[in-house]
Amino acid sequence: MIWRHLLLPLTAIAGLSMVVWGGFMPDYWMLRHLPPGVDPDYPRQAVLTFCAIILAECLLLLAVLRPGSYCRSWGRALCASLLALAIAGFWLSGFMHAPPYYGMHLQWWLLVSLGLALLTLYSAGQSWWQRRNKVSA
C-alpha cells in the first residue's frame, strides 16, 4: 500500500512545519530576561538544529519499522513504540523553561509516540485475530 511509504515523510513534514512555526512564537521566558525594548531575532540556528533532529528521529523510525516490508509486524511496532517513549522521556526532561520550538517538537513527538502505540495495538490485534481464525478453522 502507498500509505505506508507516505506516512513517515508526511509525519516529518508536519514536525518540521511545527518547529518552524514555533520559532515565530514569542519566548516569554527569554523576554523576561532581556532589557526592555529589545526584540529577539528569529532563533534560526536552534530551529535548524531541531529540524535536523526531527529528520534523524524519522530516519530512526524508518530503520526500525521498515515500511517497505512491513506487514502487521507487532514486534517492529512495539520496538518503535518503546524507542519513541524513551526519546519522549528524554525530551520531557528539558521542557520546563524551553522555548516554543522545543515545545512544538515535544508535542509532535508525543503525537508520533501515540501513533506508534496505536499501530502496535492494531498490529497485535490483527495478529491475534489471524491466529484465532486459523485455530478455529
Express each pLDDT in 33-86 by its tens digit: 778 877 788 999 999 999 999 999 999 999 998 877 777 688 899 999 999 999
C-alpha angle 115-8-22 in degrees, rounded to nearest 5: 80
pLDDT of residue 137: 58
Specify whether the CB–CB gap between 118 and 44 falls below 8 A.
no
What is the per-residue pLDDT across 7-32, written as a single tens digit (0 to 9) for each?
Answer: 899 999 999 999 999 999 988 888 88
97 band by pLDDT with thresholds 50, 70 and 90 = confident
pLDDT over 70 (residue 136): no
- The residue extents of the domains of the chain are 2-136
The tens digit of pLDDT for each residue in 102-126 reads 999 999 999 999 999 999 999 889 8
